Chains A and B, each alone.
Chain A
């Protein structure tokens, strides 16, 4: 019999409810996977020792007590929360994040807290103060980040499903590099309450799962207005899983960023092109959107500028968001920040400082608005934009060292959409036979259009063989 830890969220819930499997059996297999692999992968920082007994009481809930891995920037009562920083080492949250309390209420059990770039500052999980996480597909490579621990835990079947958070690429990049599914919701769709803040105008918690269906199920659980987060939208939360099979017929899809010089002639370019053809075959209209330096109706604003905008906006917000960590009320003092956090705090302090704010922060916010306008124009024409989540497969360890802009260059493809608050997903679209490393197809849509994103991603997943979990489900 197949190990139960390889089950998807959808099938685990079904099998638990039908009593085909028991919680004990499920958790035994998950624990075995964790015990066998975590030492090497370093995906989990903290584990819930009472997970099984908690799960057994939850059979009658929607999620039936499945084990869920949660990124360590979600505050969880009873489980140490550090955001992978020494500053918060030993911090026991006195309250629960809205997302994890919704998860728990729906019957999910937090099986452990996953590693990340410290404070989510990075795209590789290498900047964690508690050591890097390794890519389960190839141990010489990074898993991506900042939600690298969650992506690795899903990829290595050390959980049934997981939660991550994205500021610009932090869900989609590790999902692409680990070969899993990662959905970045619209900014404001999922509450940030109780999530260690990185870039407050960007942060979007979201599902990191084995399949598109799982992402849909989990999103329905965690999305929706939160009275404690004034930036959450009032829009009702649909049952995302029930609308997955509507296909892409009649949708207008634009392929973007693929004419960027760095991507010419790569496997990435090829995979995205093939995805376009697949959507076309299934009834969508697909066309290429050219890059431009200026705002025009049918072009996409050069993402190179987004690096600058993102750098300023994010650093500025970081400098303010991390000001509360003074070691007086909790945590340790400001000398315990790691090098990357110190750099970001200081740069953000500079971009907001007297005499410079107009030149940097205010300018960046204005250019950001150009991106928002650009996407508004594009989405008046297209239902979806497809691209790649990363320029290529996972980097090797150390490849980013000595380059303060490494994170930003890798984030390049995700930053314009993040700056604009859009939703997007990454689904596996290629596996390299030699390295064992995958690529991720990026599908983006306008605000609140998670349903459309999920529909297209689901079709793609069903029509291709890139997702190992759906493949197994077919067998």
Chain B
């Protein structure tokens, strides 16, 4: 039973992904996802009952000492240099949630 995507699914996923999509795009996106996921579902043929996932590197406990690394730190100017909207050293964004009070 292959997963079939509806335009409602696309709406929900787009909202989770914070990606704006137009109603016009939704149908073809849904069809594309259905097709791609169909290929993915081939994986169900494999027996993975005894397999676990592993981290790619085979490394463990790669930690840093608790030291301030000044040479890596930005000045305020560097931090803000690429921002489209700043104010008094802050990044600025339209208010998302109306504040109570």
**Binding-face segment, A40-48, A262-270, A361-369, A423-431:** A361-369
State which of A323, A331, A362 has its C-beta within 8 Å of the C-beta of B18: A323
Chain A residues within 8 Å of B98, by CB: none
Please tell me if A206 contacts chain B, counting CB pairs below 8 Å: no
List A66-90 residues whose CB lies under 8 Å from chain B: 90
Cβ contact within 8 Å between A346 and B82: no
Tell me the complex Cα distance, A157–B64, Å. 42
Contact yes or no, A305 B81, CB < 8 A? no
B2 within 8 A of A: no
Cβ contacts under 8 Å, B44 to chain A: 363
Interface residue? A304 (CB, 8 A) = yes
| Chain A, 345-394, CB within 8 A of any chain B CB | 345-347, 349-351, 353, 360, 362-370, 372-373
Chain A residues, CB < 8 A from B40: 308, 311-312, 351, 360, 364
Least Cβ–Cβ distance between A245 and chain B, in angstroms: 31
The A interface is mostly helix, strand or loop, or mixed, namely helix
Q: Contacts of A327 on B, CB cut-off 8 Å?
A: 84
State whether A404 touches B62 (Cβ < 8 A): no
Contacts of A233 in B (CB 8 A): 57, 59
Given A227-B64, A308-B41, the answer on whether A187 and B19 have CB atoms closer than 8 Å is no
User: A307 interface residue, CB < 8 Å from B?
Assistant: yes
Task: Report whether B48 and A367 are in contact in the complex, using a CB–CB cutoff of 8 Å.
Answer: yes
- Check A404/B17 contact, CB under 8 A, given A94-B74, A329-B91: no
Are B18 and A308 closer than 8 Å at their CB atoms? no
**In contact, B39 and A329 (Cβ under 8 angstroms):** no
Residue contact B81 to A92, C-beta cutoff 8 Å: yes
- A308 smallest CB distance to B (angstroms): 4
Total interface residues on B, CB under 8 Å, equals 46
Q: CB of A397 within 8 A of chain B?
A: no
Chain A, residues 397-426, CB within 8 Å of chain B (1/0): the string is 000000011001000000000000100000
Q: Are B20 and A231 interface neighbours, CB within 8 A?
A: no
Q: Which residue of B lies closest to A364 (CB)?
A: B43
Q: Which of B62-101 contact A (CB under 8 A)?
A: 62, 64, 72, 74, 78-79, 81-85, 91, 93
Q: Which residues of B contact A404 (CB under 8 A)?
A: 32, 35-36
Number of A-B residue pairs, CB cutoff 8 Å, is: 132
Q: Is A160 an interface residue (CB 8 A)?
A: no
User: Separation in Å of the A225 CB from the closest CB of chain B?
Assistant: 10
Q: Does A237 lie at the interface of the complex (its beta carbon under 8 Å from any beta carbon of B)? A: no
Q: Report whether B79 and A94 are in contact in the complex, using a CB–CB cutoff of 8 Å.
A: yes
Question: Distance in Å from the Cβ of A165 to the closest Cβ of chain B?
Answer: 16
A331–B81 CA distance with the chains assembled, in angstroms: 11
Q: Chain B, 3-40, contact with A by CB distance < 8 Å: what is the 0/1 string?
A: 00000011001101111110000000100110111011
Chain A residues whose C-beta falls within 8 Å of the C-beta of B18 in the assembled complex = 323, 326, 334
Measured between beta carbons, the chain A residues less than 8 angstroms from B57 are 187-188, 231, 233, 421
Assess the B39–A308 pair: CB atoms within 8 A: yes
With beta carbons under 8 angstroms apart, the residue of B36, B79, B85 that contacts A347 is: B36
Q: What distance in Å separates the Cβ of A353 from its nearest Cβ neighbour in chain B?
A: 6
Q: In the complex, are the beta carbons of B14 and A346 less than 8 A apart?
A: yes
Q: Say whether B20 contacts A334, CB under 8 Å.
A: yes
A175-202 contact mask (Cβ, 8 Å, vs B): 1 or 0 = 0000000000001100000000000011
A91: interface (CB < 8 Å): yes
Q: Is the CB of B13 within 8 A of A346?
A: yes
- Asked if A328 lies at the interface with its beta carbon under 8 angstroms from chain B, I say yes
From B19, B53, B55, give the contact of A346 (CB < 8 A).
B19
Using A92-B81, A328-B93 as known contacts, list a sample of 5 further A-B pairs with CB atoms less than 8 Å apart, ordered by residue number in A. A94-B79, A94-B81, A231-B62, A343-B33, A349-B13
Query: Could you give 23 example pairs across A and B, Cβ below 8 Å?
Result: A94-B78, A94-B82, A187-B57, A201-B55, A201-B56, A230-B62, A308-B42, A308-B43, A309-B43, A311-B40, A328-B85, A330-B82, A334-B18, A346-B13, A346-B19, A350-B13, A360-B40, A364-B40, A364-B43, A366-B51, A370-B51, A404-B36, A421-B57
The 4 tightest CB contacts between A and B, nearest first, are: A330-B82, A365-B53, A349-B17, A230-B62
